Structure 1
Amino acid sequence: MSNPSFRDDLVAAIPMLRGFARSLSGNRDRADDLVQETLAKAISNRDKYRPGTNLHAWLVTILRNQYYSEGRRRWREISDAEGTYAAKLTETPGHDSQLEMREFLAAMQVLPPDQREALILVGASGLSYEAAAEVLGTRVGTVKSRVSRARARLDLLLNGGEGFSRDEDAVRRSMAQLTRAMSG
């Protein structure tokens, strides 16, 4: 920018550019950014300006194009600093329930056989504690104790205890389903 006349004309155009940018954007800070960007582009494209033509019109065209280009870009973008919108764009794969069931069955296999049996009889088969005690040949209190310990251990396992690593939402859903099945 060796031409002092061009530099002086740019400086003289700043108030007009600010006014125009403010009318476009409606925001003083945004207008200042537009003017700065316009001046930077004008300086870097100095060779494209034809002396003797209307400098103000050339600068306004640069500013207007900058404003609309940024507007189109912003229209496609969504402010999502915390990832709230991005989280809504994900869809849980249909196979999650199969994975949850596999993990649940794997956790069931970790249970001692007597607890697993009691839990299956009461929770999955729907037997009463008394009927389960009769099938197992033990007392009702023993069945209740085994079921209680089995539920607590499954809760621990499905919440990442003893090396099981699980998605917290999947764990809650599985445990809610299990609890409903066992208390029903």
Structure 2
Amino acid sequence: MDISRVSQDGTASVHGAIEAQLPALRRFAQRLTRSASDREDLIQETVMRALRSAHQFRPETALRSWLFTIMRNTFNTEYRRRSRETVGLDDGFAERAGIAAPQEWAVRRSELRMALRRLPACSRRTLLLVAMGVSYIDAARLCDCEIGTVKSRVNRARKMLADEIGRPGAL
């Protein structure tokens, strides 16, 4: 079918003209991609976009140039999308790679909770405030004491916990 004879109102003739350009599209896709599957995907996506937009095609333009522009834009869009993806990891890899905490961690957490409960209330509260990221100044205001008192409470609480858990200097 002659490209210059594509009628303005008939998209069926555009469809036929697009089909006639498939060999040229394959050659152009071969220059852009390395693998055969990527090449076929690019051709398919280009044809799908061209068919969706067939009503926008103007007969006075060159169909081959229009199709090549669609293909180049499709390739560039896909290239940018792939460059943002993590290389070498399939979907869901991160979820499968994580392992549940071993039993030892659960035991350590339980030991820490029990040791925290045995601390004096004022020391426990001060330590937890500082551990949650509250500044010493704000912790002093919340505990209604001096900043030096907060520092000493935190230091003593850390030492008591380390001694009780059996790992001196660990906290």
With normalisation by structure 1, the TM-score equals: 0.46
Higher helix share: 1
With normalisation by structure 2, the TM-score equals: 0.50
